[in-house]
Chain A
Amino acid sequence: DAGVIQSPRHEVTEMGQEVTLRCKPISGHNSLFWYRQTMMRGLELLIYFNNNVPIDDSGMPEDRFSAKMPNASFSTLKIQPSEPRDSAVYFCASSEQGRGYTFGSGTRLTVV
């Protein structure tokens, strides 16, 4: 099993540009979570999906953020337009009915 796969590993973009982060969960896992990690706030939940359906997006900072899960094997997190305060590490995780959570390696986003 390749684990949770995130791309890109690093992204540097200019303020105002659109950024798309991608995630492939572990096959058979029916829940997918997007987290953001910063030094100040630690790990924060942005949004999560069960069976491809968004359940709670209350952690999404503002309308500039959006997430989709078109099928069980793919999810995207989009920021448009990006701002310097969006700079952070974004993690995707998947789980199967409480049998533990597996995290991807993360995407380090820098907005200049």
Chain B
Amino acid sequence: KQEVTQIPAALSVPEGENLVLNCSFTDSAIYNLQWFRQDPGKGLTSLLLIQSSQREQTSGRLNASLDKSSGRSTLYIAASQPGDSATYLCAVTLGSGNTPLVFGKGTRLSVIA
């Protein structure tokens, strides 16, 4: 059974700092990995999708890497801002792609001005 773990569970940093969120998964036979952002009381917003054949994806100040063999992904946020405060969720899928996402419990990020 695929399990996804995110460390740390919570993180507080001063504005402007670069930071890394970690995600690990137990079954390396993933189809893709997706990072989401969730603001309090809101839905999930997709940030980055990495296919199993890719090593990283970038969008603005965000960079996500994937190392399938070690079962790890990282989300790098450059020059953090108070608006980045949210919960960040990592999720993976197995199989052919039309299978469910398995989520980690998330990392709750607070960026202090």
Question: Which residues of A come within 8 Å of B, CB atoms?
Answer: 30-31, 33, 42-43, 45, 48, 50, 56, 91, 93, 95, 97-106, 108
Contacts and interface: CB of A to CB of B under 8 A. Distances in A.
B101 A101 contact: yes
A33 B93 contact: no
19 contacts: A30-B98, A42-B105, A43-B103, A45-B101, A45-B102, A50-B98, A91-B43, A95-B97, A95-B98, A97-B97, A97-B98, A98-B32, A98-B93, A100-B32, A101-B46, A101-B101, A103-B36, A103-B46, A105-B43
Nearest to B31: A98
Main secondary structure of the interface of A (DSSP, over half): strand
Nearest to B51: A98
Contacts of B96: 97-98
Contact of A33 (B32, B42, B43, B101): B101
Nearest to A39: B105
Contacts of A97: 96-98
B103 A100 contact: no
Interface of B: 31-32, 34, 36, 41-46, 49, 51, 89, 91, 93, 96-106
Contacts of A108: 41
B89 A43 contact: yes
Nearest to B101: A101
B46 A100 contact: yes
